């Protein structure tokens, strides 16, 4: 009897039941109630090549769609999306699913969710590799019925009575006994959720390291030219915006993990997750809390850098005001002395107009010179420090 298998390609991004309604409206009716191009939406929906669309209720509500090419799409209300199909060649099936997602599904979803808070550039530029799971109905991979090339580089093997899980760089293999009522679909979906959740946290941790080092380059400077202060402020404001957007995303993740944890207990999947996938929700949430604290530190770090640069900018402004005040005061005093020494009322003369013009020009030139000197003068950066002897 030949071994049958399914190829599952999927990912996860924070969504809600409101987003699910928008996806269903796109899939089923080629429509959106947002201020988006109706022509583009119809074009995206046509490219999806859907044969059937339905909205169904399981442990979570989801939109189910079947394409004319035999790809089954399941998009859950928490943002987990699954693309699944059976095929005789694992590699061809994987390539087909990836191409469908990258060229058709992802552009359509991205467009209907294109309004609102933007994705930070540093995050958008990171290439995402979603996990691929091979579900095999049968326990013996040594029978010769499968292409041995796809099993190259297996680094993890976990076997239980009714199921075995092998992991390689490109695939996760789930071999199960069809005679037992093993929740294979839920196991595959939960595995994809875990992998995506962990990968997102790892991505945010690496972004933190990059931003922290770039801020450190600024903070480690003992002094800067006053003329460069606005450029540093602009750069730090950009970091602050990125940190704020990512921090908000991280703060949302705990809710989704706890929901999935509750689901796994209700369908008695939590034991399988512990023994087979060596994951525990507690560890996942602990890691999330750690990343949260890291990003809180990053927020404080960039805010303190901005405050110091603002102080430099304020110092320049204050000195420019002082310069203008001094020049104005000298001009007023000189005028008063001249007027007090007069015995007749002044008259407008060519010499007087020339004198006033020269005085204004001289004052402006002096103010420009003082401002130029201040801008080229290096300002010390007074950042708070810690005692490295502790």
**DSSP annotation string for 68-134:** TTS-EEEEETTSEEEEEEE-S-HHHHHHHHHHHIIIIIHHHHHHHT-SSSPPPHHHHTSPP---EEE
Q: Percent of the chain scored above 90 by pLDDT?
A: 28
CB 309 within 8 A of CB 233: yes
In angstroms, the CA 385 to CA 351 distance is 60
Q: Is the pLDDT of residue 38 over 60?
A: yes
Confidence of residue 121 (pLDDT cuts 50, 70, 90): low
Q: Is the pLDDT of residue 223 over 60?
A: yes
Mean pLDDT of 172-193: 80
Confidence of residue 80 (pLDDT cuts 50, 70, 90): very high
- DSSP at 222: S
**Does the CA dihedral 111-248-251-213 come out positive or negative?**
positive
Please name which of 66, 58, 61 lies closest in space to residue 78, comparing C-alpha atoms. 61
CB atoms within 10 A of CB 289: 12
Confidence of residue 168 (pLDDT cuts 50, 70, 90): confident
Mean pLDDT of 223-245: 81
In angstroms, the CA 242 to CA 211 distance is 9
Spell out the domain ranges in the chain. 4-182, 189-313, 314-340+358-380
CB 136 within 8 A of CB 3: yes
Residue 224: what pLDDT?
A: 65
Q: Percent of the chain scored above 70 by pLDDT?
A: 69
Mean pLDDT of 132-145: 66
In angstroms, the CA 87 to CA 135 distance is 11
Confidence of residue 340 (pLDDT cuts 50, 70, 90): low
Q: Is the pLDDT of residue 386 over 50?
A: no
Which position has the higher pLDDT, 75 or 116? 75
- C-alpha neighbours within 13 Å on the C-beta side of residue 251: 8
Confidence of residue 331 (pLDDT cuts 50, 70, 90): low
């Amino acid at each position: 009897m030949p071994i049958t298998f399914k190829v599952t390609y999927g990912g996860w991004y924070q969504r809600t039941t409101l987003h699910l309604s928008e996806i269903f409206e796109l899939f089923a009716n080629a429509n959106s109630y947002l201020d988006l191009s109706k022509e583009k939406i119809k074009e995206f929906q046509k490219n999806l090549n859907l044969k059937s669309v339905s909205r169904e209720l399981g442990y979570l509500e989801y939109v189910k769609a079947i394409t004319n090419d035999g790809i089954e799409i399941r998009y859950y209300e928490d943002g987990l999306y699954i693309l699944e199909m059976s095929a005789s060649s694992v590699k061809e099936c994987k390539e087909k699913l990836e191409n469908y997602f990258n060229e058709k599904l992802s552009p359509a979803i991205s467009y209907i969710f294109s309004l609102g808070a933007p994705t930070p550039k540093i995050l958008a530029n990171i290439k995402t590799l979603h996990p691929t799971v091979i579900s095999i109905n049968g326990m013996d991979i040594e029978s010769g019925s499968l292409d041995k090339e796809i099993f190259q580089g297996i680094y993890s093997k976990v076997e239980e009575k009714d199921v075995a899980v092998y992991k390689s760089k490109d695939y996760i293999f789930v071999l199960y006994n069809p005679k037992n009522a093993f929740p294979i679909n839920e196991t595959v979906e939960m595995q994809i959720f875990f992998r995506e959740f962990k990968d997102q946290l790892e991505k945010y941790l690496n972004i933190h390291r990059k931003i922290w080092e770039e801020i450190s380059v600024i903070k480690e400077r003992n002094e800067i030219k006053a003329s460069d202060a606005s450029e540093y402020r602009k750069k730090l404001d950009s970091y602050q915006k990125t940190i704020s957007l990512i921090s908000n995303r991280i703060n949302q993740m705990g809710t989704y993990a706890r929901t999935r944890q509750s689901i796994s207990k209700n369908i008695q999947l939590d034991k399988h997750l512990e023994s087979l996938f060596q994951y525990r929700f507690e560890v996942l949430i602990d890691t999330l809390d750690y990343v949260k604290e890291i990003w809180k530190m990053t927020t404080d770090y960039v805010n303190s850098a901005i405050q110091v640069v603002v102080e430099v900018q304020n110092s320049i402004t204050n000195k420019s005001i002082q310069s203008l005040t001094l020049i104005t005061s000298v001009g007023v005093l000189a005028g008063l002395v001249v007027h007090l020494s007069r015995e007749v009322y002044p008259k407008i003369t060519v010499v007087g107009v020339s004198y006033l013009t020269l005085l204004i020009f001289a004052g402006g030139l002096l103010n420009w010179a003082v401002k130029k000197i201040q801008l080229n003068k290096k300002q010390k950066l007074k950042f708070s420090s810690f005692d490295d002897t502790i």
